[in-house]
Homo-oligomer: A and B are copies of this chain.
Amino acid sequence: MAATGRSFIGFREGANGNTTFRAYNPTTGEALDPEFQAATPEEVDLAARLAAEAFVSFRELSGAAKAEFLNSIARNIEAVVEPLVERAHLETALSKPRLQAETARTCNQLRLFAEVLQEGSWVNARIDRADPNRKPLPKPDIRSMWRPLGPVVVFSASNFPLAFSVAGGDTASAFAAGNPVIVKAHSAHPGTSQIVGEAVRAAVRARGLHEGVFSLIFGAGTSVGTQLVQHPLIKAGGFTGSTGAGRSLMNLAAARPEPIPFYGELGSTNPVFLLPGAMQARGAKIAEDLYGSFTLGAGQFCTKPGLIFFSEGKTSEPFLGELKSKVAQAPEFALLTKGISGDYDKEARNRKQRRGLNVIAEGAQRSATNPYSASAALYETEVSSFLAEPELSGEHFGPSTLLIRYTSKQQILEAARNLEGHLTATIHGTEEDLREFSELISILENKVGRILFNGFPTGVEVCHAMVHGGPYPASTDGRTTSVGTQAIYRFARPVCYQNLPDSALPAELKNANPLGIWRLVDGKMAQEGR
Contacts and interface: CB of A to CB of B under 8 A. Distances in A.
A501 B466 contact: no
A79 interface: no
Nearest to A463: B128
A343 B498 CA distance: 32
B449 A479 contact: no
A267 interface: no
A436 to B, nearest CB: 12
A206 interface: no
Interface string A245-289: 000001100110011010000000000000000000000000000
A452 B142 CA distance: 9
Given A476-B259, A525-B525, A495 B451 contact: yes
Contact of A503 (B431, B454, B497): B431
Contact of A504 (B261, B441, B448, B463): B441
B147 A445 contact: yes
Nearest to A421: B258
A2 interface: no
Contact of A495 (B143, B150, B261, B445): B445
Given A250-B259, A504-B434, A499 B144 contact: no
Interface stretch (A132-140, A191-199, A221-229): A132-140
Interface stretch (A64-72, A119-127, A376-384, A401-409): A119-127
B455 A499 contact: yes
B495 A461 contact: no
B499 A465 contact: no
B461 A139 contact: yes
A142 B498 contact: no
Contacts of A295: none
Interface string A488-526: 010011111111110110000000000000101011010
A80 interface: no
Interface in A445-497: 445-446, 448-455, 459, 461, 463-467, 469, 471-473, 476-481, 486, 489, 492-497
A42 interface: no
A115 interface: yes
A140 B499 contact: no
Given A142-B466, A464-B128, A465-B144, A501 B434 contact: yes
Contacts of A518: 525
Contacts of A522: 464
A352 to B, nearest CB: 28
Nearest to A524: B119
B445 A467 contact: no
Contact of A254 (B143, B251, B454): B251
A101 interface: yes
A126 B498 contact: no
A278 to B, nearest CB: 13
Contact of A127 (B137, B438, B465): B465
A495 B452 CA distance: 11
Nearest to A253: B254
Interface in A406-455: 420-421, 431, 434, 438, 441-442, 445-446, 448-455
A453 B119 contact: no
A82 interface: no
Interface in A53-67: 56, 59-60
19 contacts: A56-B442, A101-B136, A126-B486, A128-B461, A128-B463, A139-B461, A144-B466, A149-B478, A258-B473, A431-B504, A449-B493, A449-B494, A453-B504, A455-B498, A464-B523, A465-B520, A479-B492, A480-B493, A480-B494
The 9 closest A-B pairs by CB, nearest first: A467-B496, A126-B465, A254-B254, A128-B463, A450-B496, A452-B498, A144-B465, A479-B493, A142-B465
